[in-house]
Amino acid sequence: MSENLPEFTGYNFTFAFGALILCTLTMLIAVRMICRAAMVKGRSHQKRLLFSACIAGNGVWATHFVAMLGCANSMATTYNVPLTILSMFVAMGLFVPTWWSECRTPNRSRSPRTALLMTITVGSMHYIGIAARGDTGLEAIPPVWIILSLTVGFAFFYAGTLLLRQQRGRKRSLAAIAWVLGICSLHFMGMPDAYLSHETMGDMPQHIASLSLAETVGAGASTFFALACIFLLLEYQSARRKIEDSTRARSFADAALEGLVVTTGSVVLDANSAFWNLAGTRSNATYHLKNFFPVLATEEIVQKLIKKETPREIQMIRHDGERIPVEVYARESSWRGKPRTILAIIDLRARKETEATIKELAITDMLTGIGNRSFFVASLTDLLQDKTRNNPVVVFLVDIDRFKNINETCGHAMGDKVLSHIAKRLQLLVPQDAIMARIAGDEFAVACVLSPDDVTDFASYLALELKIPLPDGHDELPVSVSVGFAVSDDDMQDGGQLLHCSGIALLAAKQSGRGNVREYDRSFDSSIQNRIRLEREIQLGLERNEFFLEYQPIMSTLDRRLVGYEALLRWQHPERGRVPPDQFIGIAEDCGLIAQLGAWVVRKACRDAAGWENGLNVSVNVSPIQFTTSDLPNVIKAALDDAGLEAKRLSIEITENTFLQGKQNIEVLKALRTLGVGIVMDDFGTGYSSLSYLRDFQFDKVKIDRSFIWDMLNQPHSAAIVDAILSLGHGLGVDIVAEGIETAEQLAYLEERSCSLVQGYFIGRPSQTIAERPRTEVLESSVAA
């Protein structure tokens, strides 16, 4: 075999070096095009494959003939034109299935299919090009060298395909080097000896042979460089589009109000300006999620957040160490062509401040600045349940004597000054840890832990110290107060019960004359007996059909048309006459009759609404007790089915206390929502008014408590609360209902602020027969006047 080895005597290696450069450029471009083609689909994928095959085939073909220039002195005068053209089209045509095969081969695969196709493609082009000579060059190559050249070429081609599949980024260029070695090995090992030496040159003219080969090389090289220029132009356009897309994406990301973070694992890859501003630093270092969010320290926690598909409220640590509340959303997305985790960070500080402000407004008496009844009862209950105290809890109720006379004689402004003055005096007189609130118009409550020996003396001390002249020198009606108090026993844990006992004591003190002090005593608690009688009479009233419903219309401010009615429970007692709801609803809740009474109300309202020709909706108040003492969803479904009423025509009204009794009530509300029944938040503003209720559950309507409507034209604080609730409703997309409209001025105020729905005596009084139109249509002429 050694005597058949190619001899390179007289070979011009300058052309070999040029061929090497040309081949290297060809394979680098091919690798780039294959990677790009694998990233797209459809027609774009097909175009990229075809263009890559053209460049690769033409480049390899041109490489072959540039290398042939080095041995031009031994080449034939002419080339067979059809075979020469065939060799070029074979190269370009066979590279199409070669690259198609590689694009569909999975990463990390060890399949040799692509290498085998490359060997066939390059080998076919090479040996057809050799056969294109007019002499017997192909026959001069020993078969063993043909096999060896193909084998060595295949080995390099296979190494290149493995590198292409297993490397990432710029390291994929190593595949081009292996392919270049494969092409060069196949070319030079597959050349006959006569092509590479001077001995067989013969008498052929050198300029004719060189000219023919030069024309072939010129055509191939020109075509390759034209295709390469097109490739460079496409690469430039692609890079420009990539920069523009990146700039546009960055601009959009920086324009977002919330922080956006791109992560892989626990490493922060990129973030927008909003996030870096929130973090108090800039992206000049490598950060991990745990640097800002300790609770997101591991990838497993982030994946759980993604699967949960709901936001999570956590603490964010700023660069300066400050902790701020944020809400985090997590999603899987593609970033720069790779799967990444995208976090959206929402700053909750403003929301928390707003919520705290509304909550503070809801539990604060606007006139005096101290707590209100809701705040007092909740705080008192907590105090009663505190087992660490050593003494009983005492509640003192302070009522201003003849306060009505003060308002009538000196005006309401003076009455407000008296209330403020009493509140300030109480703050100076009571212990620092005492709970204090204004629970009614002229009633103040104080709760504190005292020794039983000091209780009576402290009550007398309050009555004495609060006996003061009117502010601003008005001494014609000196202020005095009556005090009633009650001491808790060991088993008492309900703040409302202790407040009730002190209220009975206050009533006894006022019945004894002004400026008196009384302690709660069961002996004068006649209301207890009355309560027991009422419990029995409520049960009898249900059996004797003494209860009935009245319907108060609800009007839309958009077109002043009725949209529905609220069903109001009434009781016509045979002896007591008409009993107000506030005198029997609470008793029914306490004695366990509210479930039976509430079920009757729902059935009756559904039957009545089903018979209305106008087809308007009806809303029914539901007590929080009904959520735990009855199967409320089934009760309502049975009432709807029995009456044949569409579920969307029925709404239930609940108070915020419903949410204070555990997550079970939330599940009941979701079941009602599934039925199609509307859910309305009633008396909003009188409880804790937590924004989390509106965030966690989507209400159909929210009702502003009538107390704010009555005072909004005279009390700036009440007006501020009404405006805040209306703005909140607009922001959440929830209809706001204002109840208690009694004057045209109140209606005009609410219409000006786009309050969706209104009800009250001015709109229409409750009646057993429904109205066909709102009362405001009748009064429009008088309102205009």
| pLDDT tens string 118-170 | 888 888 888 887 777 655 556 667 788 888 888 888 888 888 888 887 877 77
Distance CA 617, CA 653 (A): 13
Are 331 and 310 within 8 A, CB to CB? no
Confidence of residue 785 (pLDDT cuts 50, 70, 90): very low
What kind and span of H or E run contains 634?
Answer: helix 632-643
What is the edge-to-edge ordering of all strands in the sheet holding 323-335? 287-288, 267-271, 259-264, 338-347, 323-335, 312-317
For residue 53, pLDDT beyond 60: yes
Confidence of residue 436 (pLDDT cuts 50, 70, 90): very high
Annotated catalytic residues are: 739
Q: For residue 674, is it within any domain?
A: yes
| pLDDT tens string 685-725 | 666 555 666 777 788 888 888 888 888 898 888 888 889 88
- Of 492, 524, 556, the last residue of a domain is 524
Whether 460 and 579 map to the same domain: the answer is no
Distance CA 744, CA 758 (A): 12
Least confident piece of the model among 82-96, 190-204, 272-286: 190-204
pLDDT of residue 654: 87
For residue 525, pLDDT beyond 60: yes
Summarize the confidence of residues 384-402 as an average pLDDT.
88
Average pLDDT score, the chain: 79
Give the per-residue SS3 of 560-584: CEEEEEEEEEEEEECCCEEECHHHH
**pTM of the complete model beyond 0.75:** no
Q: For residue 353, is it within any domain?
A: no
Distance CA 349, CA 355 (A): 10
Range of 200-214, 241-255, 288-302 with top mean pLDDT: 288-302
If one compares 44 and 243, the residue with the highest pLDDT of the two is: 44
Helix (H, G, I), strand (E, B) or coil at 485: strand
Output the domain CATH number for residue 377: 3.30.70.270
| pLDDT tens string 500-513 | 888 888 877 886 77
Question: For residue 348, what are its two tokens?
Answer: 């909750």
Helix (H, G, I), strand (E, B) or coil at 260: strand
Confidence of residue 206 (pLDDT cuts 50, 70, 90): very low
Give the per-residue SS3 of 31-65: HHHHHHHHCCCHHHHHHHHHHHHHHHHHHHHHHHH
Q: For residue 5, is it within any domain?
A: no
Q: Cβ neighbours of residue 670 under 8 Å, at least 6 residues apart?
A: none
Whether 296 and 158 map to the same domain: the answer is no
Distance CA 625, CA 586 (A): 10
Number of domains, the chain:
4
Q: For residue 248, is it within any domain?
A: no
Are 503 and 537 within 8 A, CB to CB? no
Whether 478 and 508 map to the same domain: the answer is yes
Summarize the confidence of residues 273-284 as an average pLDDT.
76
With 0-12 CB in 10 A as exposed, 13-18 as middle and 19+ as buried, what is 476? exposed
Output the domain CATH number for residue 574: 3.20.20.450
Whether 57 and 137 map to the same domain: the answer is yes
- Of 489, 524, 559, the last residue of a domain is 524
Whether 306 and 443 map to the same domain: the answer is no
Please report, rounded to a whole number, the percentage of residues in the chain having pLDDT higher than 70: 79
pLDDT of residue 203: 37
Query: CA-CA distances (angstroms) from residue 624 to 248, 539, 663?
Result: 53, 20, 13
Whether 561 and 612 map to the same domain: the answer is yes
Whether 325 and 214 map to the same domain: the answer is no
Please report, rounded to a whole number, the percentage of residues in the chain having pLDDT higher than 90: 15
pLDDT of residue 248: 59
Summarize the confidence of residues 444-459 as an average pLDDT.
91
Q: For residue 530, is it within any domain?
A: no
Summarize the confidence of residues 67-95 as an average pLDDT.
67
Whether 298 and 377 map to the same domain: the answer is no
Buried b / exposed e across 286-320, counting CB within 10 Å, b at 16+?
ebebebbbeebeeeebbeebeeeeeebebebbeee
pLDDT of residue 306: 76
Q: For residue 365, is it within any domain?
A: no
Whether 502 and 590 map to the same domain: the answer is no
Whether 178 and 120 map to the same domain: the answer is yes
**Helix, strand counts (H, E) of the chain:** 27, 20
Distance CA 541, CA 583 (A): 14
| pLDDT tens string 215-231 | 555 555 566 666 666 65
Summarize the confidence of residues 180-208 as an average pLDDT.
59
Buried b / exposed e across 156-194, counting CB within 10 Å, b at 16+?
bbbbbbbbbbeeeeeebbbbbbbbbbbbbbbbbbbbbbb
Q: For residue 247, is it within any domain?
A: no
Domain that holds residue 777: 538-784
Question: For residue 402, what are its two tokens?
Answer: 């003849």
Whether 107 and 197 map to the same domain: the answer is yes
Whether 544 and 642 map to the same domain: the answer is yes
- Of 237, 266, 301, the last residue of a domain is 237
Confidence of residue 75 (pLDDT cuts 50, 70, 90): very low
Q: For residue 567, is it within any domain?
A: yes
Q: Is 615 left (phi over 0), alpha (psi -120 to 50) or beta?
A: left
pLDDT of residue 236: 55
